[in-house]
Chain A
Amino acid sequence: MSVRRVVMTGIGVVAPGDPGRESFWDLVSHGKTATRTISLFDPSPFRSRIGAECVFDPERAGLSHQEIRRTDRAGQFALAATREALADAGIEPAAGDPGRVGVSVGNGVGNAISMEQEYRVVSDDGARWLVDPGYAMPHLYKYVMSSSLATEVAWAAGAEGPSTVISTGCCAGIDSVGYGYHLVQEGSADVVLAGAADAPIYPITVSCFDTLRASSTSNDDPETACRPFDRRRNGLVLGEGSAMFVLEDYEHAVRRGARIYCEIVGYAARANGFHMTGLQEDGREMGEAIVAAMAQARLNPEDLDYVNAHGSGTKQNDRHETAAYKRSLGAHAYELPVSSIKSMVGHSLGAIGSIEIAASALAIDRNLVPPTANYSEPDPQCDLDYVPVTARELPVDTVLSVGSGFGGFQSAIVLSSLRDTARGADRRRAAA
């Protein structure tokens, strides 16, 4: 069986700030931040009180009342992003063979808000261990199972092929796109709705990051709280949202005259086998994922135009990640623009990998590299070109995007427009 090529033909985004792909791009390409004091609940008892929230109204986003009732905020993000991606791709999967359309949704912490809200009700705010079923709402089971995200997307898209949720923590948003890529590549589906969603900004998750002292305490300056790679960085800022993509067999896309954003040319996941939350200083584990993804893409470091970083803004991560780039990309690591959009949209756990893939694909589409906002003081251990504050115009054809998460998971994905677009052909001609 010949290996099929997999291209991205539609992008939908619900990211912190206003919903929609263009609002997202407007935010990150202008270096604006969506990190604010948390409004989804009263954050005053918490150590970190900052979040990057979506300004989201499910009705305005076009969700039906039934969809709104039966889904958590994460599911609502996923549905809105799915519809935008389908419209962008100009495809109605159900109109073809629904059995050839698959779904792959990444998620980190399930339908966290609903799970917690409903817990409060049935436990009477923690008063009862034997919680009261009389107060449970009918869709409670869907709330505690993240797999409902995949069925909701499948129903919205009319997909009847293979569908699943991929839940590798903070790498889930890359791994789910990697999974969709495999489904198309191996011929299990011609079209896959792939992406991720998470909505973790609620007390239990905020408590967890407080306990780990992993989140930023710049509570007086929420708009500049997340400072990836900066010497003064003091932790991550929780975010939320979803990005969904239409991934498609290349021939299928060409046949229907689809606009192609980019091709997925490499993907790899590795684990550190070391610690659930710790990372080794030398960047070994992420470096290995990058090397594997680049090998699969048959690309050299010099072929990369941009690296969309994990850059969570914790002391540990940004050091590890910088070391990983040097290990895996050699001297070219110093030449490459590397930026973290988490400085603007926060860290939405299972969703962020897909949101960052959206930024990467749009960087290719628009020849513009989004910046690392809030960056001003270099850290001697983080000495690469982090594209401080202002976006940079440059020809972008090939992008590496990476993720790192609890459990020791590391993922890397490579997107490229070189082999697919007229522009790629022009550049190849110019190079020759």
Chain B
Amino acid sequence: MSRTVRPVVTGLGVVAPTGNDVAEHWEATCAGKGSLGVISRFDPSGYPSRVAGEVSGFDAARHVPSRLLRETDPMTHYAFVAAEQALADSGIDLDALADLDTAVITANSSGGVEFGQRELQKLYAEGPHAVGAYMSIAWFYAATTGQLSIRHGMRGPCGVMVAEQAGGLDVLAQTRRVLAGGTRFVLGGGTDASLSPYGLVCQLSTGLLADGDQPDRAYLPFDAAAHGYVPGEGGGMFTLEDLTVARVRGAARIYGEVAGYAATTDPRPGSDREPGLRRAIRLALDDARVRADEVDVVFADGAGIAAADRQEAEAITAVFGARGVPVTVPKTMTGRLYAGGAALDVVTALLTIRDGVVPPTVNITDPAGYGRDLDLVRDRARELPVRTALVLARGYGGFNAAAVLTAVR
């Protein structure tokens, strides 16, 4: 029943701290223009961590009917707009396809926390009668996929992947399965919006957020001064179809192919077994039938926590050798977007392949010992022909995912 497919990306969309469309995002990202700042959405002065990557200058009402905005959380607003961009970019005529041949697959990490906090406040401050009718459809993890499916009439096998930061790559694998099952067109990606006070307090409980309010000293993956990460919001959306199908319909652009993917789970805490990242990288390369020396750039997860950075640096070095491949963490400009993080990295990696420009990792001044084993693209973008990019994503609790993206000749 299933057949071999070559999933290619034919359209991109972005709503992120770095920009509210692909061009804005790419320009800022190549310029190394960080978008981290002190939280403006609410008064963060009572919280130890006050820096975040916020989406700014975003006006959903220009794109989405106000009724729909009322029913949904910001995580879905970002997805509405990024999805519209990706669909337009792909040039797809959805009316020309059977609705059951199209599907939506998104990643989500913690649901619509701002919407949820507001309704919880109504419940406890005013009573059960005050809870709004839309809580039941706005907050849950499936809200974005459901709304996109309805908005665009995409009725095939839809999905919702939840693996914190790794979920954005799991979307690629699920898309490949769905395409192999006969679906012709998939709208995929991930967006999150975790920046409400309750959302922030939940994240603070891990002890992994960088404290303070200095945007350029907060999130420093692979740096000796790494002391946590910065949360962000937004994400990326993309359209995927089989290469042959895309060519036959005359897709205007083919950004690249999802050539390989693998996911692993770390051993339980306290185990002396090796963490799963190296294995995920190896399996993804095998899956893509790509040798390590064919990889031109690695988009690292960049946790910004010494122990996790060391693990990641060791895994990359074990596969590629010391300083064996350029490594970058554009997340240093946006913060970690949870379900949107890996999805945005996929978009950025495809643009890197298109333009032969590797965006930089910003704010790193003093790489840690293990960081010095990496050829970290620092400060400014590096021009480099890129045919093959490896994107890594690690989710809280031990999820590891790796995806290999390649140029299509």
Report whether chain A binds chain B. yes
* Complex A-B, nearest 4 residue pairs according to Cβ-Cβ distance, in ascending order: A407-B146, A126-B124, A151-B397, A126-B125
Closest to A163 in B: B265
B137 touches A119 (CB 8 A): no
> Shortest Cβ distance from A126 into chain B, in angstroms?
3
A residues within 8 A CB of B22? none
B131 touches A167 (CB 8 A): no
A273 touches B133 (CB 8 A): no
B162 touches A99 (CB 8 A): no
The reply on A334 being an interface residue by CB < 8 A is no
A residues within 8 A CB of B267? 98, 158, 160
Contact flags (1/0) for B269-292 with A, using CB distance below 8 Å? 100010010010000000000000
Chain B residues touching A, majority SS: mixed
Partner of B121, one of A129, A159, A277: A129
Closest to A140 in B: B205
B residues within 8 A CB of A108? 140-142
Closest to B145 in A: A407
A165 touches B163 (CB 8 A): yes
Partner of B42, one of A123, A130, A148, A168: A130
B residues within 8 A CB of A211? 131-133, 135-136
Inter-chain CA distance A257–B263, complex, in Å, is 29
B residues within 8 A CB of A407? 137, 142-143, 145-147, 149, 158
User: Which of the four size classes fits the interface of chain A?
Assistant: 35 or more
A residues within 8 A CB of B64? none
Partner of A99, one of B124, B202, B264: B264
Inter-chain CA distance A163–B136, complex, in Å, is 27
A208 touches B136 (CB 8 A): yes
The reply on A210 being an interface residue by CB < 8 A is yes
Closest to A208 in B: B136
Given A45-B127, A130-B197, A155-B268, A136 contacting B163 (CB threshold 8 A): no
Given A136-B201, A145-B396, A210-B128, A167 contacting B160 (CB threshold 8 A): yes
Given A160-B264, A407-B137, A409-B146, A138 contacting B205 (CB threshold 8 A): yes
Tell me the residues in window 220-241 of chain A with beta carbons closer than 8 Å to chain B beta carbons: none
A133 touches B48 (CB 8 A): yes
Inter-chain CA distance A130–B201, complex, in Å, is 9
A151 touches B398 (CB 8 A): yes
Closest to B111 in A: A110
Interface segment, B102-110, B215-223, B314-322? B102-110
Partner of A276, one of B104, B123, B150, B198: B150
Inter-chain CA distance A21–B161, complex, in Å, is 28
B264 touches A162 (CB 8 A): yes
Of the candidates B117, B142, B159, the one having the most CB atoms from chain A within 10 angstroms of its own CB is B142
Closest to A178 in B: B157
Interface residues of A (CB under 8 A from B): 3, 45-46, 98-99, 103, 107-110, 115-116, 118-120, 122-123, 125-127, 129-133, 136-148, 150-151, 154-155, 158-169, 172, 175, 179, 182, 186, 188, 203-204, 206-212, 268-277, 285, 288, 296, 405-409
Inter-chain CA distance A158–B269, complex, in Å, is 11
B155 touches A164 (CB 8 A): no
> Shortest Cβ distance from B55 into chain A, in angstroms?
20
Partner of A126, one of B120, B201, B269: B120
Given A140-B205, A186-B177, A158 contacting B146 (CB threshold 8 A): no
Partner of B158, one of A142, A296, A409: A409
Given A147-B162, A148-B397, A211-B132, A122 contacting B137 (CB threshold 8 A): no
A164 touches B263 (CB 8 A): yes
The reply on B28 being an interface residue by CB < 8 A is no
The reply on B167 being an interface residue by CB < 8 A is yes
Inter-chain CA distance A204–B112, complex, in Å, is 14
A residues within 8 A CB of B47? 133
B399 touches A408 (CB 8 A): no
Partner of A271, one of B154, B265, B279: B154
The reply on B100 being an interface residue by CB < 8 A is yes
B residues within 8 A CB of A154? 265, 268, 398
B162 touches A164 (CB 8 A): yes
Inter-chain CA distance A3–B1, complex, in Å, is 9
Inter-chain CA distance A98–B275, complex, in Å, is 12
The reply on B65 being an interface residue by CB < 8 A is no
> Shortest Cβ distance from B163 into chain A, in angstroms?
5
> Shortest Cβ distance from A238 into chain B, in angstroms?
12
B residues within 8 A CB of A132? 46, 201
> Shortest Cβ distance from B154 into chain A, in angstroms?
6
Closest to A175 in B: B159
Partner of A147, one of B46, B109, B143, B152: B109
Contact flags (1/0) for B328-348 with A, using CB distance below 8 Å? 000000000000000000000
The reply on B66 being an interface residue by CB < 8 A is no
Known: A147-B167, A155-B268. 14 other contacts (CB 8 A): A3-B2, A109-B139, A126-B125, A130-B43, A130-B197, A131-B198, A132-B201, A141-B206, A147-B162, A164-B167, A208-B136, A271-B104, A273-B155, A275-B150
A123 touches B124 (CB 8 A): yes
B205 touches A136 (CB 8 A): yes
Contact flags (1/0) for B188-224 with A, using CB distance below 8 Å? 0000000001110111111000000000000000000
Inter-chain CA distance A116–B124, complex, in Å, is 10
The reply on B236 being an interface residue by CB < 8 A is no
The reply on B156 being an interface residue by CB < 8 A is yes
A203 touches B123 (CB 8 A): yes
A residues within 8 A CB of B158? 168, 269, 271, 407, 409
Inter-chain CA distance A179–B110, complex, in Å, is 20
Given A130-B43, A140-B202, A273-B149, A268 contacting B136 (CB threshold 8 A): no
A119 touches B157 (CB 8 A): no
B residues within 8 A CB of A110? 110-111, 140-141
B residues within 8 A CB of A142? 397
A406 touches B140 (CB 8 A): yes
> Shortest Cβ distance from A123 into chain B, in angstroms?
7
Inter-chain CA distance A77–B15, complex, in Å, is 37
A residues within 8 A CB of B353? none
The reply on B312 being an interface residue by CB < 8 A is no
A272 touches B155 (CB 8 A): yes
Inter-chain CA distance A207–B268, complex, in Å, is 37
Closest to B137 in A: A276
A145 touches B279 (CB 8 A): no
A146 touches B202 (CB 8 A): no
The reply on B266 being an interface residue by CB < 8 A is yes
Return 8 A-B CB contacts under 8 Å, by A number.
Answer: A110-B110, A126-B125, A137-B205, A140-B205, A154-B265, A164-B263, A271-B154, A405-B142
A162 touches B265 (CB 8 A): yes
A162 touches B42 (CB 8 A): no
Given A131-B201, A133-B47, A163 contacting B163 (CB threshold 8 A): yes
B202 touches A136 (CB 8 A): yes
> Shortest Cβ distance from B150 into chain A, in angstroms?
5
> Shortest Cβ distance from B53 into chain A, in angstroms?
18
The reply on B356 being an interface residue by CB < 8 A is no
